[in-house]
Amino acid sequence: MSGPEKPKVIGEELNDERIKDFLNLRPYSADDNPDYFVLIRAYQSLRAGDFERFVGFFKEAGRDLNALSNDGQTILDHISEHGRSAEYVPCLVSAGAGKSEQAAH
């Protein structure tokens, strides 16, 4: 049998352990920043409220909210490019996320 062990279920209430599972993800390439990879995957997979909870766990784990992608973007840079993702921005900003120097110019 192939496929994810825990398939995505739309509308399912996620408990803390399921959200913390994102902290264990590893990038596909050794060239990718593990903190940026985890943030992007959580952003792509979680609803805004769950993502906000994830950001708290991410920070508690001592991870870098301003980690850079291979293109020099932070998660805030990336999300700010998506008009429909505005609800994700406030939790990142209040947690201390910033834009990269290249995006700030």
Residue whose tokens read 């913390």: 20
Residue 5 lies in a domain: no
Domain that holds residue 87: 17-104
For every one of its 105 residues, what pLDDT tens digit does the chain have, with 9 covering 90 and above? 444 454 444 566 789 999 999 999 999 999 999 999 999 999 999 999 999 999 999 999 999 999 999 999 999 999 998 888 889 999 999 999 999 987 655
Residue 76 lies in a domain: yes
Instruction: Provide the pLDDT for residue 3.
Output: 41
Residue 64 lies in a domain: yes
Residue 65 lies in a domain: yes
Residue 3 lies in a domain: no
